Amino acid sequence: MARDTEIKPGGILYVVAMPIGNPRDITLRALDVLHDVDLIACEDTRRTGPILAAHQVKRPLISHFEHNEVRRVPELIDRMKHGERIALVTDAGTPTISDPGYRLVRAAHEAGIRVSAIPGPSAAIAALSISGLASARFTFEGFLPSRDAARRNALDALNRESRTMIFYEAARRLRDTLDEMAIAFGELRNAIVVRELTKTYEETIRGSLADLAQRFQGEQALGEIVIVVEGAPETNAASPSPISIDDLIDAGLSLKQASAIIAKLTGASRRDVYQDALKHRRESE
């Protein structure tokens, strides 16, 4: 019995990056590994199968996705303990990056199984590389919450983030997300929307958050979306404005309208300006 639980030589987990669109973006090393492993654990066999077939890779497939990961991990760990070499892949890009896989990787480490990265495509890094925004320091935020209140809270928490920020977003939510980003980060903040990376209809749109939000008001985005937003300037919170909110209100504007103008002049968050003005009013009263 003890012999059955012994970790045998050769058991290994390969974390293999797959193309994010163009099937020719797979690396030669990735193909070598995929041809050689005993099993390929993939997010969706229906999507991985055609990519493997395009490169004449004929290895057994097993599904490994978000809703079966907890149940599947012990089985895969046991197979590697008995010497099998398994490749972990996802539908597109690098496994565990906003995709399933980290539980399997963690379990393999804990079981003393070797884990090896086979690097390659990543939509986040590809988008950052063509954004024209500062790339020395950046933060990957993945998908924002789908619920409106939770999304607003997440963006508000990033308001003072000085590093370039990278987000994934579903096409159907792009319009609302850009609107919320313009409010949370300021309408003048520069950003880039990249869709369908490496595919036939790849498109890159640059501009301020206000410009991008306006662009997609009357246009339904399609495909896979990456949003890259520049970080907050160091003076974002204290940028002076030649006009005060009180001056604008005295001129007949509402508090909301005045806040929007001050935010645009200073580059600050419209929501922050509005909340600060409310707080100041309450303290004055």
Domain ranges of the chain: 12-121, 124-229, 245-284
Q: Average the pLDDT over each of 34-38, 63-67, 182-186, 237-241 and give the range with the smallest value.
A: 237-241
Reported as a single tens digit per residue, the pLDDT across 157-177 is 999 999 999 999 999 999 999
How are strands ordered across the β-sheet holding 39-42? Answer: 61-63, 39-42, 85-88, 12-16, 114-118
The answer to whether the CB of 184 falls within 8 A of the CB of 156 is yes
The answer to whether the CB of 249 falls within 8 A of the CB of 284 is no
Q: Where residue 20 falls among pLDDT bands split at 50, 70, 90?
A: very high
Q: How high is the mean pLDDT of the chain?
A: 88
Is the pLDDT at 33 greater than 80, yes or no?
Answer: yes
The answer to whether the CB of 84 falls within 8 A of the CB of 39 is yes
Fold of 124-229: 3.30.950
Strands 12-16 and 225-229: unpaired
In CATH terms, is domain 12-121 a member of 3.40.1010.10? Answer: yes
* φ/ψ (deg, to 5) at 138: -150, 165
pLDDT of residue 6: 46
**What's the mean pLDDT in 26-42?**
97
**What's the mean pLDDT in 242-249?**
73
Tokens standing for residue 1: 């019995």
Q: Where residue 31 falls among pLDDT bands split at 50, 70, 90?
A: very high
pLDDT of residue 9: 62
pLDDT of residue 285: 62
Share of the chain above pLDDT 70, in %: 90
pLDDT of residue 243: 72
In angstroms, the CA 186 to CA 127 distance is: 22
**What's the mean pLDDT in 247-260?**
76
pLDDT of residue 201: 92
* Residues 6 or more apart whose Cβ sits within 8 Å of residue 12: 80, 85, 86, 113, 114, 115, 116
Tokens standing for residue 92: 């597109």
Q: Average the pLDDT over each of 77-91, 118-132, 209-223, 239-253 and give the range with the smallest value.
A: 239-253
